[in-house]
Amino acid sequence: MSTIRLKNIRIFANHGCLTEEEKIGSDYIVNLKVTADLSRAAKTDELGDTVDYVQLQRIVREQMAIRSKLLEQVGQRIIDEILKEIKLVDSVRVRVSKINPPIGGDVAEVSVSMSSRR
C-alpha cells in the first residue's frame, strides 16, 4: 500500500450549531490521507492508474460546502464520497479543523479526525 496526502486544504464554510456560525462562517483546514495500491501507476506513469489529487480536493470542497452542525458529519461525508467515487482507495483518514472556534476562550482550532477502510 502507498499513501497520498493532501495537507492543509483551506476552506471557508458555514458549519456549526450556532446561528451565527451559519450566517458568518469560519475558516477550516482539512487534512486528508488515503492509501491505495499505486504499483501500477508507478510502472505506467498514467494518471488513470493512480488516485487523482484533483479529484480528492474536489470531493473535500464539495462536501465542505454542504452545511452541517457537526464536523463529524462533514468528515464522514468526505470519507464516504471518496470510497464511493475512487475504487482504488483502500482507506481514508480525514481531519477537519475549525480555526478560531467560538467556544468562549482563546483556542486556535478544534478538530475531528476520522478514518475508514473499504
pLDDT of residue 47: 95
DSSP string, 38-94: -HHHHHH--GGGS--HHHHHHHHHHHHTS--S-HHHHHHHHHHHHHHH-TTEEEEEE
> Which of 7, 69, 84, 98 is labelled catalytic?
98
Q: pTM for this structure?
A: 0.92
Query: According to the per-residue pLDDT averaged within each range, which of 12-16, 84-88, 105-109 is highest?
Result: 84-88
Mean pLDDT of 75-86: 98
98 an active-site residue? yes
Question: HSE of 66 in the Cβ direction (CA atoms, 13 Å)?
Answer: 13
